[in-house]
């Protein structure tokens, strides 16, 4: 492949990394907010189903994220071998930071699904005189 084609691929995979992280972030916040506000109304079966679906989705996002990171590493190495100006610029700390956030955030969201924060009494509005 030419340098130009490799740079285009590098940009595509860079976008895929951001996209997978954004999908994970949106899914996690949706699960946390839904569990926080409506979790006390869900029975244990529904709560377990939500948790399983969430964990599977997170696993898919994480695997796709790792695949895109690996592709960026390979493409960067090829560009480095070509002595390109777009050589290896992979920032391992950014990747480690995202991995950490994804893993810890998934664990946190799973605990919120299992143990919602609001109870029925806290969520029901108070009626005057009652």
Note the pLDDT tens digit of each residue in 24-47: 999 999 999 988 888 778 888 888
The pLDDT of residue 61 is 94
The pLDDT of residue 120 is 52
Whether residue 127 has pLDDT greater than 80: no
Instruction: Report angle CA 27, 109, 30 to the nearest 5 degrees.
Output: 30
Q: Could you tell me the end-to-end alpha-carbon distance of the chain, in angstroms, rounded to an integer? A: 74
- Indicate whether 23 belongs to any domain: yes
Please write down the long-range contacts of 84-92, taking CB distance under 8 Å and 24 or more positions apart.
Answer: 84/3, 84/6, 84/7, 86/3, 86/6, 86/7, 86/10
Q: Strand (E) positions, 1-130?
A: none
- Indicate whether 75 belongs to any domain: yes
- Indicate whether 106 belongs to any domain: yes
Whether residue 89 has pLDDT greater than 90: no
Q: Hey, what are 59's tokens?
A: 């696993």
User: Which of 19, 105, 117 minimizes the C-alpha distance to 54?
Assistant: 105
Q: Who wins on pLDDT, 24 or 87?
A: 24
- Indicate whether 121 belongs to any domain: no
- Indicate whether 124 belongs to any domain: no
Tally of structural domains, the chain: 1
Range of the domain at 12: 3-116
- Indicate whether 50 belongs to any domain: yes
Mean local confidence (pLDDT), 117-124:
54
Mean pLDDT of the chain: 85
The pLDDT of residue 37 is 86
The pLDDT of residue 91 is 67
- Indicate whether 128 belongs to any domain: no
Whether residue 116 has pLDDT greater than 70: no
- Indicate whether 122 belongs to any domain: no
Mean local confidence (pLDDT), 85-91:
66
Mean local confidence (pLDDT), 58-82:
90
């Amino acid at each position: 492949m030419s340098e130009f084609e490799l740079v285009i691929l590098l940009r595509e995979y860079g976008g895929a990394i951001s996209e997978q992280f954004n999908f994970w972030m949106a899914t996690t916040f949706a699960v946390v907010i839904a569990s926080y506000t409506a979790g006390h109304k869900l029975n244990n079966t529904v709560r377990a189903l939500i948790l399983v679906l969430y964990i599977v989705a997170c696993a898919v996002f994480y695997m796709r994220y790792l695949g895109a990171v690996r592709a960026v590493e390979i493409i960067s190495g090829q560009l480095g071998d070509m002595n390109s100006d777009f050589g290896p610029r992979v920032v391992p700390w950014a990747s480690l930071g995202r991995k950490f956030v994804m893993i810890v955030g998934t664990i946190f969201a799973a605990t919120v699904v299992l143990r919602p924060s609001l109870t029925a009494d806290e969520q029901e509005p108070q009626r005057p005189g009652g």
